[in-house]
A and B are shown apart, each in its own frame.
Chain A
Amino acid sequence: MVLKTLFPKNTGILIYDRLYAKKNWLLISIAILLITVVLLPILILGKIREENIIIGVVEIFIIVFINCIMSFNYFHDSKKLSYYVSKPITNIQKVNINIITNIIFTVILLGILMIISNYAEMYFSMFEIYKLIIPWLLVGILISALSCILTGNSIIAGISTIINFTLPFSFLAIISYMFKILEDVALGFNADILLSNFVDNYYRIDYLYFYRYIDNKISISYFVILIILIIFVYSLIYFLLKRRQNERTGDFIVYDGYKNLISVLIACLAPIGFLTIINEGDFISKSISFFILSALSYYIIVAILEKSFRVSKSSIKLFAVFMIILFLFIQVANIATNSYENYVPNNSDVESVYLGDSTHIYSKYLEEGVHISNLDKDFMIRAEDIQVYTEKENIESVINLHKEIIDNRSFYNYGRIVIAYNLKNGKMLIRYYELDVNSESYDGKKDDAIKPLVNSEEFKKKTFKFIYDDEYANNLDINNIIIEINSSESTEVFEIYKDEIDLDKFRNALKKDYDAYLATNNNYLDLARRGRYVERFEQNYKQKDTIDTYEIVTYSIGIYNQSIDKYKKNSENLTIDERFINTVKYIEELIKVKQQ
Chain B
Amino acid sequence: MQVLYFAWVRERIGVPRENVETTAKTVGELVAELRGREQRYDLAFSDMSAIRVALDQELTDLDASLDGVREVAFFPPMTGG
Are the chains A and B members of one assembly?
no
On A, residues with C-beta under 8 Å from B are: none
